[in-house]
């Protein structure tokens, strides 16, 4: 019991450390980007008074961090310590109270904006994961069972192509074929259930290729184990040997990749959502956050994505234990 509590405490502290590091780095980088959010949002025609009011309203007239390196009255730059009187501390104070701040552009709470787009991103990531698994497991098993044959070589080439082609190539190609030429699906948007098909295939294609190679390697390795020969000696059919025994043990490294790749799917969803105009966090982050220099919106999107990624890794550890109780995650 004591070890379990220590493990939970360690995981929670690690979660806080990762979230703090990611959001702090994003905050630092976005502060270093040239340009003024007030000018970007109000436009070049805004008066000096309007810009100053905007900056005061959103706290942009205060220092961003604990210290600044700014010129004095004579034009000479100096380091100046600001203590806790800065936007960085204010942001984390708000986070501790469940407040992500207010969007510079819409004046709406960032929490509401993020939560309104979050389900679409999770739906796309899960759909892409299902597409990847549905393609990878049967193809990987077929390639592993037929090692060295022409079928194995063909599937290996297909997997290599899937890994090599980026989403900004696969996405437009699928749009041209299935939406423009055949007219089976919509070009973009999230209006009908079938609208998720093309984005999910685009996002899951590279992952399915990677998983196919992993499943193939795992099946080849497991087929040489003693328990497989024992199962065959008992008269079990080849399909039962492969899918009931070999695949279960061979899925352990695959589950590792799945847990880690969910974060990659969330990151890849940013490009995919832009291509298909999918109304998720990625589109919100690019168009309304980065494009408009909306600091608070960028911070909120990154915070939610990082927490989701950590939660996915924790769930991966639990699946480890379900697949093989002998595994003990340190």
pLDDT tier at 199, thresholds 50, 70, 90:
very high
Domains of the chain: 2-96 (no CATH), 110-323 (1.10.3720.10)
Dump pLDDT digits (tens) for 30-83. Answer: 777 777 788 878 877 888 888 888 888 888 877 777 766 666 666 666 666 666
Give the tens place of pLDDT for each residue, 137-172: 888 888 888 887 888 888 888 888 877 788 888 888
DSSP 6: H
The mean pLDDT value for 182-186 works out to: 86
Q: Give pLDDT tens digits for 247-266.
A: 777 777 777 777 777 777 77
Q: Given this model, what pLDDT does residue 59 score?
A: 80
Q: Taking 70 as the threshold, does the pLDDT of residue 186 lie above it?
A: yes
Q: Rounded distance, CA 141 to CA 137, Å?
A: 6
What span, in angstroms and rounded, lies between the C-alpha atoms of 95 and 243? Answer: 47
Residue 176 exposure: Cα atoms within 13 Å on the Cβ side: 6
């Amino acid at each position: 019991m004591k070890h379990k509590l220590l493990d939970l405490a360690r995981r929670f502290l690690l979660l806080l450390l990762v979230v703090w590091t990611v959001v702090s780095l994003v905050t630092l980088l976005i502060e270093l980007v040239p340009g003024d959010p007030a000018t970007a949002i109000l436009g070049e025609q805004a008066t000096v008074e309007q810009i100053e009011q905007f900056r005061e309203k959103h706290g942009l007239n205060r220092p961003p961090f604990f210290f600044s390196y700014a010129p004095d009255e004579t034009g000479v730059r100096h380091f100046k310590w600001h203590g806790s009187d800065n936007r960085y501390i204010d942001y984390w104070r708000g986070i501790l109270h469940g407040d992500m701040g207010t969007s510079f552009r819409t004046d709406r709470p960032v929490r509401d904006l993020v939560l309104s787009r979050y389900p679409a991103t999770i739906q796309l990531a899960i759909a892409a994961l299902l597409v990847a698994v549905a393609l990878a497991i049967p193809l990987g098993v077929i390639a592993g069972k037929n090692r060295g044959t022409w079928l194995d070589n063909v599937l290996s080439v297909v997997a290599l192509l899937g890994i090599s082609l980026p989403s900004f190539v696969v996405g437009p190609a699928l749009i041209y074929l299935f939406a423009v030429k055949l007219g089976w699906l919509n070009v973009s948007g999230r209006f009908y259930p079938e609208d998720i098909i093309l984005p999910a295939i685009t996002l899951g294609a590279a992952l399915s290729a990677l998983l196919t190679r992993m499943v193939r390697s795992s099946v080849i390795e497991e087929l040489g184990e003693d328990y497989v020969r024992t199962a065959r000696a008992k008269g079990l059919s080849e399909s039962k040997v492969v899918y009931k025994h070999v695949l279960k043990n061979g899925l352990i490294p695959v589950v590792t990749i799945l847990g880690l790749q969910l974060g990659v799917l969330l990151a890849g969803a940013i490009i995919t959502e832009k291509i298909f105009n999918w109304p998720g966090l990625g589109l919100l982050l690019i168009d309304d956050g980065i494009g408009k220099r909306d600091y608070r919106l960028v911070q909120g999107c990154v915070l939610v994505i990082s927490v989701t990624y950590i939660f996915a890794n924790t769930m991966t550890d639990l699946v480890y234990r379900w697949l093989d109780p002998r595994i003990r995650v340190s």
